[in-house]
Amino acid sequence: MSMIHDDTLPDLKRLTEILRILAKYEFGSVVEKIGLKNQLPLSERFKKGSSIDEFDSSVSERLRMVLEELGTTFIKLGQILSTRPDLVGEELAQEFSKLQDSTPAFEFEKIKSVIEEQLKSPLDEVFSKFNEVPLASASVGQVHQAVLKNKSNVAVKVQRPGLERQVNQDIRLMHYLADLIDRRIPKWKYYNLPGIVDEFERSILKEMDYGQESRNSKRFKEIFKGDRTVYVPKIYNEHSTTKVLTMEFIDGVKVRDIMESDGSEDKFNRKLIAKRGAESYFKQILIHGFFHADPHPSNIYVLKHNIICFLDFGMMGSIDEESREDLAELFIFIINNDVNGIINQLIYMGILSESVDRKSIKYDLMDLMDKYIGTEIKQVGNVLQDLSSSNILEKYQIKFPKEFVLLSRVITMMEDTGQKLDPEFNGVEIAKPFVKKLLVRKLNPARLLDFIGENIFEFEHLMKIFPRSISKTLMKLEEGKINIEMEHKNLDIISGSLDRITNRISLALIISALIIGSSLIMQTNKGILLLGFPFLGIIGFVISAVLGMALVISILRYRQI
């Protein structure tokens, strides 16, 4: 699916609906500020709305209600923003996390029509049984249990009919409104609404592409190949398309159900489940750099023998090897409560500017870390979450990479689940072996050979252009065509020092000349004599002595002797 960002006029009927709902929840002043008040129905135009500069305490709740009423696309936008407290603030992110992605099931005839159109076969030719009552229904699609002709028990995920058209229309409207707000409400430029819409568009188009989810599942399965503690459902590619996904039916228990039970009838080892879940996540993040980005307890099942099973691979995260190593080093500084180390690492990662007021941010970070002093840090995700959602971001104009914020959310959710399953859960102790493995790999001498191998063509290009660049530079230097730009710092101090040095040298030369001249005059025995010596020679020696004493005193005063 392609990105939807053009200058065509949006659907006016849907635009009017969006504006009406904004006015309904007292955001009429925003509509007025962006110049679209005339698009509102007459009954809504004169309603008093909240000021765009000073929202009251109910703004977060009202914004959530707006998104809920606007439907699928906007609910998804809110859910994604709930993972970005660095963009919308902690309060709004918490409120958006309440958005429920569940809608009434749509008619079976529509389901059947989509499946037959996508698989290009009648339903009864593909499945021997198909349960018309859905197992689950959401805004993007719904899931039905079925049995294939080969007797495999499967779950069939079917995209909601007409969803693609609705999402495309809404995204076009989002771009239109975001651009208007960005231009006409300067105070909101900081939030970069057009950029947020771009990021959301990429995310939802991936989630709507079941082909992408199938590829994610296959890659995820490779990570845990040979690992008997984690299971990944089989995807039946021959019965899957971009709008229909047929996968192995999982007969297990949701982690959420285990968490909410009183434990009296548990058939599972909660402590072991918490440990295996955490190990699987640190393996995904630190070793492979490809991780399940929605560790909701309803997306993780437990099978017999306490085996962890992941579902729903529509939302995945990626992090490259260099970033994983940086993150591992940051973990170490956080675990050791080393504020200076945290600052240095954030600067090295490019998150903090080298020109930052280190003293000021050090005290702010110390305040942030105060609650962990004297206690063992057991959940590194909480520290990352505190760091990425604190007022330090705004104060120092820090923009965390979206991968970092997503990671902190994922690790926090995973560790919170572990804590609820096992009160003695210690995420840091589970993470340590993976951090150690990553850093040992980084320091391995063989890594240098790998680096050379991976960058061999870069080295070849460098060797080709290096002699040519040196030759050009020498030619320009010879022709006098090199221009050097200099930025001076404290030049006035240097200039003053040079003046003193020059004056002392000049004075020393004058004294030397006087002494030599006076000595020559003393040998003439001519002119006015004083005590048998030429008067001018005596005067020369006296002046030389006075100037010499002044020079010595000056040197001693500035302690340069």
d(CA 60, CA 66): 10
CB 400 within 8 A of CB 86: yes
Burial of 421 (0-12, 13-18, 19+ CB in 10 A): buried
Active-site annotation holder among 294, 312, 326, 416: 294
Residue 100 φ/ψ, nearest 5 degrees: -100, 125
CA-only gyration radius of the chain, Å: 36
Residues 6 or more apart whose Cβ sits within 8 Å of residue 241: 118, 119, 210, 211
Residue 375 φ/ψ, nearest 5 degrees: -125, 155
Q: Which two three-digit tokens encode residue 429? A: 């102790």
d(CA 93, CA 49): 23
Q: What ranges make up the beta strands (E) of 38-171?
A: 127-130, 136-137, 141-148, 153-159
> What are the DSSP calls for 298-363, one per residue?
TSEEEEGGGEEEE---SSEEE--HHHHHHHHHHHHHHHTT-HHHHHHHHHHTTSS-TTS-HHHHHH
Q: Encode 224-282 in three state secondary structure.
A: CCCCCCEECCCECHHHCCCCEEEEECCCCEEHHHHHHCCCCCCCCCHHHHHHHHHHHHH
Residues 6 or more apart whose Cβ sits within 8 Å of residue 228: 307
Distances (CA, A) of 326 to 319, 342, 449: 11, 11, 21
Cβ atoms within 10 Å of 502's Cβ, excluding its own = 10
* Residue 6 designated active-site: no
Q: Which two three-digit tokens encode residue 238? A: 């021959």
Distances (CA, A) of 153 to 148, 302, 305, 406: 7, 18, 21, 34
Give residue 168's Cα distance to chain centre. Answer: 27
Catalytic residue IDs: 294
